[in-house]
Amino acid sequence: MIKTIRGTRDILPPESGLFAYVESVAREVFRRFNFDEIRTPVFEKAELFARSVGEETDIVSKEMYTFTDRDGTALALRPEATASVVRAFLEHQMGNEPGLKRFYYLGPMFRRERPQKGRYRQFFQIGAEVLGGDHPALDAEVIEMVTEYLRCLGIQEFSLLLNSIGDRQCRPAFLQALRVAAEPVKEKLCENCRRRLVTNPLRILDCKEESCQPYIDQFPSILDFLCAACGAHFEKLRALLDERGLRYQLTPRMVRGLDYYTRTTFEITSDLLGAQNSLLGGGRYDGLSEMLGGPPVKGIGFAIGLDRFVLVLSQIRPALGEDPVQLFVAWLGPKAFSKAYELTQKCRQTGVRCVIEFEELKLKKALSNADRMKAGHVLIVGEDEIARNSFQLKDMKAGSQESLSESELLARLSSLPGRL
Ligand code: AMP
């Protein structure tokens, strides 16, 4: 038997229903904040990610699925979508249009990580990006939008971690201080940290190795190194979050795994997840456009891990993905099928989820099939009922039954709740 590739999976009902639900809530919440959908390709030139996410990051150096196209071009399955959105912004010269551009996207991303609960090699993200501005109120609004999304999904237990990692002005001094602090204890750090000390010292701060922690705790804090402009931006953002009652934890060691970030970075974690507790992450990337060869364009965004949202929701609202049959149409007598089918069509047009059997069944068998499908109602269409324009609608939960004419039936179904 051919099976799925390690780290990928089939998403089956009812879990697929949960995915559809979290996606539809995201679309609705983001619409209220004036975001529009953008769809970019699943594969791009590998160079796009090397230049933006960064050659030295784990994502690009170890986890990216790259391959050579038949014409020799190095391609990659996208490990994330921010770089693609900025590429599209530049390619379509959207910077020439006035105002901010607000986009959201959703779809699969690919990273060759070690699979575990909540971590896959193909996983789903919903993300949003705002291009063309760097007002701290924009950062606050984006953070507010993700917390609003969590509220709409009914996820109340989460932590918002916040940091600023400075910009091209102030970060070099911090990196230098980090190198100075790390140098004397270099031998005690893990191999990854020793390598990063040379290639990308900032990333030492989010090393997960237990033995490195006591040393990292002693390293300087980026917040003490912010230049006046970055400091003021961060102060203003914090004041806005406070004003709106959005509680956060200041986390100076949170640097995130992508090189394009500047200033604000944030993450939302949940205790309902295991070791992979990060639900979403984001931040500002004011230099990204230039890294891709474009003009200066300020930007901020985030990416939500859908698989992890579904894991959390399946714990706190397990019935959410279920969408059972609302109406099971049972017909009795060889002449009843045509009318029963016509009624089914009309019921479907009212928005009700219907099923009709193609072979005639005894009523008892039909009811047991309806029961197995957890159908909410059964409509009984016999030859007598057709002649009298009076159909039996059985409420499977209450056990009650009522006689309705065709028009009464359709009116009654229109008032059924669309989703259980
Ligand atoms: P990142 O793009 O690394 O900033 O990650 C943003 C979010 O995507 C994380 O908070 C996770 O929820 C999710 N995510 C990242 N990598 C994976 C993965 N391999 N499997 C499942 N979800 C992931």
Confidence of residue 420 (pLDDT cuts 50, 70, 90): very low
**pLDDT value of position 407:** 96
| Chain centre distance of CA 244 | 24
Does the beta carbon of 257 sit less than 6 angstroms from any atom of ligand 1?
yes
Confidence of residue 257 (pLDDT cuts 50, 70, 90): confident
Of the listed ranges 107-116, 158-167, 319-328, the least confidently predicted one is 319-328
Does the beta carbon of 280 sit less than 6 angstroms from any atom of ligand 1?
yes
**pLDDT value of position 259:** 80
Does the beta carbon of 123 sit less than 6 angstroms from any atom of ligand 1?
yes
Atom of ligand 1 nearest to the CA of 278: 10
User: Which strand ranges, in their side-by-side order, compose the sheet holding 354-356?
Assistant: 354-356, 327-332, 377-382, 391-395, 401-404
Instruction: With CA atoms as reference, report the closest residue to 85 among 122, 121, 36.
Output: 36
Segment 384-407 mean pLDDT: 96
Confidence of residue 318 (pLDDT cuts 50, 70, 90): confident
pLDDT tens-digit profile of 62-102?
999 999 999 999 999 999 999 999 999 999 999 999 999 99
**pLDDT value of position 414:** 85
Total Cβ atoms within 10 A of residue 167: 18
CA 124–ligand 1 middle distance (angstroms):
8
**pLDDT value of position 419:** 38
Give the span between the Cα atoms of 332 and 384, in whole angstroms: 9
**pLDDT value of position 319:** 86
**pLDDT value of position 256:** 82
**pLDDT value of position 371:** 96
Does the beta carbon of 125 sit less than 6 angstroms from any atom of ligand 1?
yes
Of the listed ranges 145-154, 189-198, 373-382, the least confidently predicted one is 189-198
CA 31–ligand 1 middle distance (angstroms):
23
Asked if residue 249 has pLDDT above 70, the reply is yes
CA distances from 313 to 270, 275, 310, 318 (A): 11, 17, 5, 7
Asked if residue 363 has pLDDT above 70, the reply is yes
Instruction: With CA atoms as reference, report the closest residue to 332 among 274, 386, 278, 296.
Output: 386
Give the span between the Cα atoms of 79 and 219, in whole angstroms: 30
Segment 272-300 mean pLDDT: 94
Count of positions (residues) in the chain = 420
Give the span between the Cα atoms of 278 and 191, in whole angstroms: 25
Q: Whose CA is nearest to atom 13 of ligand 1?
A: 305
> Which residue would you say has higher pLDDT here, 405 or 274?
405
**pLDDT value of position 417:** 65
**pLDDT value of position 128:** 98
- 53, 84, 276: which to mutate for ligand 1, most atoms within 8 A of CB? 276
**pLDDT value of position 275:** 83
Mean per-residue pLDDT over the chain, rounded: 94
CB 102 within 8 A of CB 128: yes
Q: Domain spanning 327-413: which CATH class is it, in words? A: alpha beta
- pTM listed for this prediction: 0.92
Asked if residue 418 has pLDDT above 80, the reply is no
Confidence of residue 415 (pLDDT cuts 50, 70, 90): confident
| Chain centre distance of CA 382 | 48
CB 141 within 8 A of CB 318: no
> Where exactly are the structural domains of the chain?
15-170+226-316, 327-413
Which percentage of the chain shows pLDDT scores above 90?
88
Give the span between the Cα atoms of 140 and 310, in whole angstroms: 25
Give the span between the Cα atoms of 341 and 331, in whole angstroms: 9
- 125, 149, 259, 313: which to mutate for ligand 1, most atoms within 8 A of CB? 125
Q: Which residues pair with 77 in a beta bridge?
A: 43
Asked if residue 416 has pLDDT above 80, the reply is no
CA 185–ligand 1 middle distance (angstroms):
31
Segment 331-351 mean pLDDT: 95
Does the beta carbon of 52 sit less than 6 angstroms from any atom of ligand 1?
no
CATH topology of domain 15-170+226-316: BirA Bifunctional Protein; domain 2 (3.30.930)
Q: Which helix (H) or strand (E) holds 48?
A: helix 46-49
**pLDDT value of position 2:** 98
